[in-house]
Homo-oligomer: A and B are copies of this chain.
Amino acid sequence: MNPLSPGACIGILGGGQLGRMLALAAASLGYRCHVFCPEDDSPAGQVADSLTVAGYDDDGALRSFAGAVDVATYEFENVPLAAVDAVAALRPVRPGRKTLATAQDRLREKRFVQGLDIPTAPFAAVSDPASLARAVAEIGCPAVLKTRRFGYDGKGQARIDSPGDAAAAWDGLERAPAILEGFVEFRRELSVVAARAADGSLAAYDVVENRHRDHILHTTTAPAPDAAAIAGPARRIAEALLTGLDYIGVIGVELFELADRTLLVNEFAPRVHNSGHWSIEGAATSQFEQHIRAIAGLPLGSPETLFASEMTNLIGDDVRAWRRFLAEPGAHLHLYGKTEVRPGRKMGHVTRIRR
């Protein structure tokens, strides 16, 4: 694909904050955005040049959306594959179908990672009581049972502390196809955000350290402290995934660092990632601009860190303190245009840069 000319239109499936920040970055580069999402009033729709409000099963709406854009992307990994296929019949969708299908299925994802000789937590497929019993015997306890599809922010997971918990855990997940993962005693959670351009070139941001609260990302420290020994391995993992997936765009790779400093891949997200938000102020090129550059067929920008940064999500009621962050030197407030404050809802974030 030739580079997308200024004024061309980028289609975004999904209307959340990731789409909003992608649209803002696209606008800085002179592109128009067309957002497709089912919600009437969405964070991304508020800043897009065009908006289609329709369901992901509305083939006619997907076809006209595709006809109106020059390239399309998605801002959440649970967008239905059929919707992506409908758009891809008419226009390039980046990252592509294979990536999305892999990321939507924890079993396929884990096998793909393993196939690249990248370590993961031990896992086994669960599809019925017999395979569940075999998995518990093989993996041991404690372990975590996770649905193969549609999990995020800790949803679709149940811990199994002893074999006797297994049946109830599976019932709790409504007996959906699942995987059992061995419980990993990790030292900390890390992630790498990285990009691959259409020409195969790669650019990884510094590895970062993430802290969660209630299974939701709370704080990212960039770069991760004490990371000299693992910066190279983390980058190489992200690059192997990007190349193995023939990926175009930005990916977020979640890692566990063990006591011996081994890195395991927990999962990857085929999109810009919450742990990359610090790059808006902290890096030479934000992850949002980087994704737009990649899907538009432009050269990647420098991922170099300009400022050590700490990003804190404003979740639910946290956002009510927004005025405080505006008065704090070095703090950068980002709000997502969501009207209703709900517990667990990501309302915005604050990035503090250190100089």
Binding site for B on A (CB under 8 A): 3, 6-7, 20, 23-24, 27-32, 46-49, 284, 293, 298-299, 301-302, 306, 319, 322-323, 326-327, 329-330, 333-339, 348, 355
B residues near A335, Cβ cutoff 8 Å: 6, 28-30
A335→B30 CA distance, assembly (Å): 4
Known contacts: A293-B326, A330-B284. The answer to whether A27 contacts B7 by CB under 8 A is: no
A7, A302, A319, A323 pick with most chain B CB within 10 angstroms: A7
A348 and B27 alpha carbons, distance in the complex (Å): 11
Q: Which residues does chain B contribute within 8 Å of A326, judged by CB atoms?
A: 293, 298-299, 301
Contact A30 B329 (CB under 8 A): no
What separation, in Å, do the CA atoms of A48 and B46 have in the docked complex? 7
Report the bound CA distance from A23 to B47 in whole Å. Answer: 9
A308 to chain B, nearest CB (A): 14
Tell me whether A337 and B293 are in contact (CB under 8 A): no
Compute how far the CA of A326 lies from the CA of B337 in the bound complex, rounded to whole angstroms: 30
A337 CB contact (under 8 Å) in B32, B46, B301, B336:
B32
Contact residues in B for A49 (Cβ distance below 8 Å): 46-47
Integer count of this chain's copies in the complex: 2
A301 to chain B, nearest CB (A): 7
Does B3 lie within 8 Å of A336, measured CB to CB? no
Give complex CA distance A49, B338 in Å: 13
Indicate if the CB atoms of B337 and A323 lie closer than 8 Å. no
Which chain B residues border A24 with CB–CB below 8 Å?
Answer: 24, 27-28, 47
The one of B29, B327, B330, B336 in contact with A30, judged by C-beta atoms closer than 8 angstroms, is B336
A49 vs B23: C-alpha distance in the bound complex, in angstroms? 12
| Contact B47–A27 (Cβ < 8 Å) | yes
Verify A7–B333 contact, CB threshold 8 A: no
Docked complex Cα distance between A322 and B24 (Å): 19
Measured between beta carbons, the chain B residues less than 8 angstroms from A46 are 27, 32, 49
Inter-subunit contact A20/B29 (CB<8 Å): no
Q: Complex: how many Å from CA A355 to CA B307?
A: 12
Please report the C-alpha to C-alpha distance between residue A330 and residue B285 in the assembled complex, in whole angstroms: 9
A32, B42: Cα distance in complex, Å: 11
Contact for A27 among B20, B298, B330, CB less than 8 A: B20
- CB pair A28–B299 under 8 Å, yes or no, is no
Cα-based distance from A18 to B28 in the complex (angstroms): 12
Q: Once the chains are docked, how many angstroms separate the CA of A322 from the CA of B322? A: 37
Q: Offer 13 A-B interface pairs, CB within 8 angstroms, sorted by A.
A: A20-B27, A24-B47, A27-B46, A27-B337, A30-B334, A30-B337, A31-B337, A47-B47, A47-B49, A293-B326, A298-B323, A302-B330, A306-B355
Q: How far is the CB of A143 from chain B (nearest CB, A)?
A: 41
Give Cα distance in the complex from A319 to B337, angstroms.
33
Chain B min CB distance to A328 (Å): 10
Across the interface, do A299 and B327 meet the contact criterion of CB distance under 8 Å?
A: yes
Closest to A341 in B: B6
Contacts of A23 on B, CB cut-off 8 Å? 47
Q: Are B327's CB and A7's CB within 8 A?
A: no
Does the CB pair A348–B47 fall under 8 Å? no
The reply to whether A7 and B298 form a contact with Cβ atoms under 8 Å apart is no
CA distance A60 to B114 in the complex (A): 65
Contacts of A3 in B (CB 8 A): 323
Q: Is B298 in contact with A30, judged by CB distance below 8 angstroms?
A: no
